[in-house]
Amino acid sequence: MASPITKNRKFMVGLKLAALFVIILIAAFTANAAVIIGINVYYHATIHDTQQAAAAISAALDNIWVTFFTLLLQNAAFVFVAWLFLMKVDKVKFSWKEFGLDVRRDTPKLTLSGIGLNLFLSVPLFGILLLIGAVSFEAFGTASFSLTSIILSFVLMAIGTLTIGFGEEILFRGYVQNMLTKKYGILWALPLASVFFVAVHVLPKFMTGSVELLYFLSIFPVALILGYLFYVTKSLWASVAFHALEDFVVLALVAFGKPTAGTAPLIILSAPIDITIEGVKLGNWGDAIGLAIGAALFMAMVAYFWNKQRAGQIDGRMINKKSFIKP
């Protein structure tokens, strides 16, 4: 039976996560609201006709530059939240190493490994969707957008998704998972941090009634992959690279259906076919295939590192079974 002290510690950790969850949502909302308010103030100040101003505002909200600055602002807010909790709540001296972002000799290799690993998720996903007819090729981006628009979208989204990689990985893996690992060990920290990551992404959609079960589930194995990469490498660089490429593919390279957020992707595919059971939409085939591939990739990663540890090719402390529980 857990002692009162242990129960109190668990309660305090739960309270901290709840507070962090609320603050993250507030930070994301504030960043988006700041951009929207700024656009409204600008157009109402420069266009005195109310209807024309409203039309200009509506067009601006679907502009690539607005998307870009929103990404920068939101992920800067995420980094600030991680810094705030580390310094002011946990009373830990700030260092990039604390978040796993210290530069080491193997940093380039880790970054490339994150990119390469993502290809094992993205390439089979698109290949299978096309093979089974769940999506179909519609057009190259050049049929709808100018080359200048495509290049601009490519560059801005490369930077924007890199900020997503850094912002979200610093917050969810560098801070949340790291904090939980120190307290409970990786066996508890990895799934808890992954559920926390999924909840933050799903709640806004859930509140608008647009979230589906398969979408919710498909995020979880990706979160496990990102967290496990951080754990076994003791570095955030591979996770940042994996995460950034994941978002870059769906924002700058490929669009399912009509491109959104002002982007000009290179390839346009049809929207994935929905999966509906007895009139209830569970999601689409993109979510279902992504869930299956993500789960398989995560299990393959665990098996790979476990075998390398047993063969003595890597430090046993990285994945030894004893390290899965708090010493």
Tell me the DSSP string of 79-102. Answer: HHHHHHIIIIIS-----GGGGT--
Distance CA(229)–CA(240), nearest Å, equals 10
Average of per-residue pLDDT values in the chain: 89
Q: What values do phi and psi take at 200, rounded to 5?
A: -65, -35
- Does position 320 have pLDDT exceeding 70, yes or no? no
Domain range summary for the chain, segments of one domain joined by +: 93-324
* Distance (Å, whole) CA 110 – CA 116: 10
- Which of 252, 256, 248, 250 has the alpha carbon at shortest distance from 272? 256
pLDDT above 90: residue 209 = no
Sheet holding 267-269, edge to edge: 137-140, 267-269, 254-256
pLDDT surpasses 60 at 287? yes
Question: Which whole number is the average pLDDT over 112-128?
Answer: 96
Whether pLDDT at 323 is above 50: no
Q: Residue 2's pLDDT band (boundaries 50, 70, 90)? A: low
Q: What is the mean pLDDT of residues 240-258?
A: 94
Q: What is the mean pLDDT of residues 309-313?
A: 71
Q: Which residues make beta-bridge pairs with 269?
A: 137, 256
Q: How far is CA 215 from CA 183, 212, 304, 310, in A?
A: 30, 5, 27, 36
* Per-residue pLDDT at 206: 73
Q: For 47-92, how does the pLDDT look when each residue is reduced to its tens digit (9 = 90+)?
A: 887 888 888 888 888 899 999 999 999 999 999 999 999 999 999 9
DSSP codes of every residue in 150-192: HHHHHHHHHHHHHHHHHHHHIIIIIIIIHHHHHHH-HHHHHHH
Per residue in 139-197, pLDDT (tens digit) is 999 999 999 999 999 999 999 999 999 999 999 999 999 999 999 999 999 999 999 99
pLDDT at 204 over 70: yes
pLDDT at 322: 39
User: Contact 231/181 with Cβ under 8 angstroms?
Assistant: yes
What is the structure's pLDDT at 141? 93
Instruction: Please determine, for residue 324, whether its predicted confidence score (pLDDT) is greater than 50.
Output: no
- Residue 238 CB partners (closer than 8 Å, separation 6+): 110, 111, 113, 114, 117, 229, 230
Q: Find all residues with CB under 8 Å of 127, minimum gap 6, and list them.
A: none
Cβ–Cβ < 8 Å for 282, 214:
yes
Least confident of 50-64, 98-112, 244-258, 278-292: 50-64
Cross-strand pairs, 255: 268
Residue 313: band (very low, low, confident or very high) from pLDDT cuts 50, 70, 90: low
For position 7, what pLDDT does the model report? 61
Which stretch of 4-8, 61-65, 185-189, 251-255 has the lowest confidence by average pLDDT? 4-8
Q: What pTM, to 2 d.p., does this model score? A: 0.90
Q: How many CB atoms lie within 10 A of CB 39?
A: 18
C-alpha 18, offset from chain centre: 19
